[in-house]
Chain A
């Protein structure tokens, strides 16, 4: 029942937000819906942490520790972006960039987007997992297109075309897997369920499973933003409204990664070879390497952050490929930490964008002076995302390096460290010029754009700072449980 509500509540909120005419009532519904979504999400996480995996509604929903990690990410990030949205959208409306109709559409699509992402985390049938990932594309494409400008249209078009074509190949992979699973288990409605396929004793036809996983890797890899299929990502992230960018980068990519992980586990049960490992490490490492030059030459700060997302997805993929109990746990931790850090950065980027009315880095100086709080969060976020201790991402990246050396991937890990160091330098170079420095041409009026866009940043900031120093036992327990699901008892 709770699982059903976790999808139904955001859907209902979205529909209500479209129907309601009065602005204050719509914002109220939006607020209540967001808080309810977060509450239900945490309720599920709490239940899974205490009682282990649960299945409900005639096997339709299945929530295990892996889903719980994603649900925790969705809950925290979506609450932050919801609060931020109120201030952001009000400001855009005042500036005349969005009209009332677009605002209503925004709130509806926003909640439908969250509903589809929750569905990715809780659905049992792996065919429906594909359906819900494709649904996230379609819904979020509407959100990217909300500004009716040429660039936004271009970004949406590329996003929709590249992701749909890519994910079509993933569907081919799913069909092949289904055929192989039918051959083994006979034809019934359950054979595509995660609860059936994740059984580590289930051995399907190896050649078919390998073929299927290659298609799925390419398909979902496109959606995760792994190089060389990442071309939609910087466009969509830079053109979307900032709260949506935060959701795309912080949550959506992790949902797609969850799809990749689930199919990877199923494939691992049949083909114990190195194919899966090589695919993850290959695509992951390429993403980190490709991200560096683009970050270095970037002029638009939202695009730069988007390329940093490509880098981090690459790091997560490499960690998943490295594997071992430490590698898996570190990968999941990195997913969580990156979500907190990057969503915070995209939200602050939105504040900077609204204040300076530009996304071009050469036009932005002295954020710390103009907006002390946003500037401070921007600074902490930059330090965190580049892996500087004592923030949270340092912990997970360091664990990934340790796991890499321990599992005998010395070369891979060395290259990874080298490029993370390069990207650190490049990001610092750009960000420091924006955060410090002084605008010589004109003096900005001091102060935040609004309270709604400033105060919510405290939530991710809390996790970025605290989780670098101390992680509560229940959280480490959850991560451990999830890494056990990932290991599937096969390759620890």
Chain B
């Protein structure tokens, strides 16, 4: 239980760290670490509750989200140039501040929720909700295509954790389906990033401003 709590704190820190770091390569590493922690949490919960499905889900999380997705993103980054740094509309200090505010929102919102079916303690739900929100925040404020993709994966990680702590995961087939969708979405994101880079000589989404009205 203590281990689970410690892991969830690390998870939160890693999400906030995404708002701070500059090199995109580091962001991918953090994303990988985050997914690894999430996978470990799923396995821990599987041990506690003796649900065989969760072992598989934990294993798949580590395999696909901690290894597969970061690897794909890493390859894309290598193709468009390793030295890329993040660029955003909001400065890092303000970003961290917003991250803190979103964390607070996570706590306030979930405190009012009457979840009688809550399987694990209340302490995990706010963290997962704020992960979802911070993921959205990353997608909205970052201007590099890859970072927006990372934001999407953070959102999905948050959702996976919501499901994990409220209902010990979704029905097995649904979880597999969600995984598959995320995986294909990341492949598409990598492909598009590469093509955007080739077309505009930059992965800056500022270039994507031609279609209006």
A residues within 8 Å of B by Cβ?
Answer: 125, 127-128, 130-132, 134-135, 137-138, 141-142, 145, 148-151, 153-158, 160-161, 164-165, 168, 171-172, 174-176, 178-180, 182-183, 187, 189, 191-192, 205, 207-208, 211, 234-235, 238-239, 294, 297-298, 303
- Given A127-B171, A138-B181, A154-B210, 4 other A-B residues pairs in contact with their CB atoms under 8 A: A127-B177, A137-B185, A156-B192, A168-B152
The answer to whether A175 touches B167 (Cβ under 8 A) is yes
**With the chains together, A148 CA to B155 CA distance in Å?**
28
Closest to B198 in A: A148
Query: With an 8 A cutoff between CB atoms, is B5 at the interface?
Result: no
Query: With an 8 A cutoff between CB atoms, is B189 at the interface?
Result: yes
The answer to whether A157 touches B205 (Cβ under 8 A) is yes
A135 CB to nearest chain B CB (Å): 6
**With the chains together, A187 CA to B116 CA distance in Å?**
14
The answer to whether B185 touches A157 (Cβ under 8 A) is no
The answer to whether A175 touches B188 (Cβ under 8 A) is no
The answer to whether A207 touches B213 (Cβ under 8 A) is no
Closest to B114 in A: A207
The answer to whether B155 touches A168 (Cβ under 8 A) is yes
Closest to A156 in B: B192
**With the chains together, A68 CA to B205 CA distance in Å?**
41
Per-position binary interface string of chain B over residues 89-115, scored 1 when its CB falls under 8 Å from any chain A CB and 0 otherwise: 000000000000000000000000111
**Majority secondary structure, B binding face:** helix
The answer to whether B167 touches A179 (Cβ under 8 A) is yes
- 4 smallest A-B Cβ distances: which pairs? A131-B177, A127-B174, A183-B117, A154-B208
The answer to whether B195 touches A175 (Cβ under 8 A) is no
| Chain B residues in 8 Å Cβ range of A131 | 174, 177-178, 180-181
Which of A125, A128, A294 is within 8 Å of B213, CB to CB? A294
**With the chains together, A432 CA to B156 CA distance in Å?**
47
Within 8 A of A (CB), among B116-168: 116-118, 132, 135-136, 139, 145, 148, 152, 155-156, 159, 162-163, 166-168
The answer to whether A168 touches B174 (Cβ under 8 A) is no
Q: How large is the interface on B (under 10, 10 to 19, 20 to 34, 35 or more residues)?
A: 35 or more
| Chain A residues in 8 Å Cβ range of B115 | 179, 208
Query: With an 8 A cutoff between CB atoms, is B6 at the interface?
Result: no
The answer to whether A165 touches B136 (Cβ under 8 A) is yes
**With the chains together, A176 CA to B116 CA distance in Å?**
11
The answer to whether A158 touches B177 (Cβ under 8 A) is no
A-B contact pairs, 18 of them (CB 8 A): A127-B173, A131-B177, A145-B191, A148-B195, A150-B200, A151-B211, A154-B209, A154-B211, A161-B148, A165-B139, A165-B155, A168-B132, A168-B159, A172-B159, A183-B117, A205-B114, A207-B114, A297-B213
Query: With an 8 A cutoff between CB atoms, is B75 at the interface?
Result: no
**With the chains together, A172 CA to B158 CA distance in Å?**
10
Closest to A206 in B: B114
**With the chains together, A149 CA to B155 CA distance in Å?**
29
**Majority secondary structure, A binding face:** helix
B58 CB to nearest chain A CB (Å): 18
| Chain A residues in 8 Å Cβ range of B184 | 135, 138
Closest to B177 in A: A131
| Chain A residues in 8 Å Cβ range of B174 | 125, 127-128, 130-131, 192
The answer to whether B210 touches A150 (Cβ under 8 A) is yes
Interface centre among B172, B177, B180 (most CB of A within 10 A): B177
**With the chains together, A118 CA to B180 CA distance in Å?**
18
| Chain B residues in 8 Å Cβ range of A151 | 210-211
Which of B155, B156, B177, B195 is within 8 Å of A153, CB to CB? B195
| Chain B residues in 8 Å Cβ range of A132 | 177
The answer to whether A125 touches B173 (Cβ under 8 A) is yes
Closest to A184 in B: B117
| Chain A residues in 8 Å Cβ range of B132 | 168, 172
Closest to B139 in A: A165
| Chain B residues in 8 Å Cβ range of A141 | 188
**With the chains together, A228 CA to B145 CA distance in Å?**
23
Closest to B199 in A: A150
| Chain A residues in 8 Å Cβ range of B118 | 179
Which of A127, A161, A189, A207 is within 8 Å of B152, CB to CB? A161
The answer to whether B117 touches A180 (Cβ under 8 A) is yes
B164 CB to nearest chain A CB (Å): 10
Which of A153, A179, A234 is within 8 Å of B208, CB to CB? A153
| Chain A residues in 8 Å Cβ range of B7 | none
**With the chains together, A297 CA to B213 CA distance in Å?**
8
**With the chains together, A145 CA to B210 CA distance in Å?**
15
B122 CB to nearest chain A CB (Å): 13
Known: A165-B152, A179-B117, A179-B166. Is A157-B171 also a contact (CB below 8 A)?
no
**With the chains together, A158 CA to B210 CA distance in Å?**
12
Known: A164-B152, A175-B166, A182-B167. Is A153-B117 also a contact (CB below 8 A)?
no
Query: With an 8 A cutoff between CB atoms, is B26 at the interface?
Result: no
Which of A128, A153, A298 is within 8 Å of B192, CB to CB? A153
B130 CB to nearest chain A CB (Å): 13
The answer to whether B211 touches A155 (Cβ under 8 A) is yes
Interface centre among A148, A165, A192, A238 (most CB of B within 10 A): A165
B111 CB to nearest chain A CB (Å): 13
**With the chains together, A256 CA to B195 CA distance in Å?**
29
| Chain A residues in 8 Å Cβ range of B181 | 131, 134-135, 138
The answer to whether B199 touches A153 (Cβ under 8 A) is yes
The answer to whether A160 touches B188 (Cβ under 8 A) is yes
| Chain B residues in 8 Å Cβ range of A168 | 132, 135-136, 152, 155-156, 159
